């Protein structure tokens, strides 16, 4: 698991998966999931498990999710 972070600090931060895959911007979170949104016209939403967070550098949240795995978390 990732080092302790203040989960509220990740809101409105960029989200990235493995190989720098763009997962959009963090919109909201709850005890289990982090919601991200990507795109302006064609919007994609992802509901990613919090336990997939591997790093937060203050600007970006990094998830241990590949592009293929991200499809399973995509909604809308």
**What is the block-wise mean pLDDT of the chain (76 residues), using blocks of 10 residues?**
80 98 98 96 95 96 98 92
pTM for the full model? 0.91
For residue 8, what pLDDT is reported?
A: 93
For residue 19, what pLDDT is reported?
A: 96
Tokens of 1: 């698991």
Q: Which spans in 1-76 are helix H? A: 67-72
For residue 5, what pLDDT is reported?
A: 87
For residue 3, what pLDDT is reported?
A: 65
For residue 4, what pLDDT is reported?
A: 81
């Amino acid at each position: 698991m990732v080092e302790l972070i203040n989960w509220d600090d990740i809101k409105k931060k960029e989200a990235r998966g493995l190989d720098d895959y763009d997962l959009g911007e963090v919109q909201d979170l709850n005890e289990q999931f982090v919601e991200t949104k990507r795109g302006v016209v064609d919007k994609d939403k992802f509901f990613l498990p919090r336990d997939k967070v591997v790093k937060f550098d203050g600007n970006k949240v990094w998830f241990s999710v590949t592009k293929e795995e991200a499809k399973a978390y995509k909604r809308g």
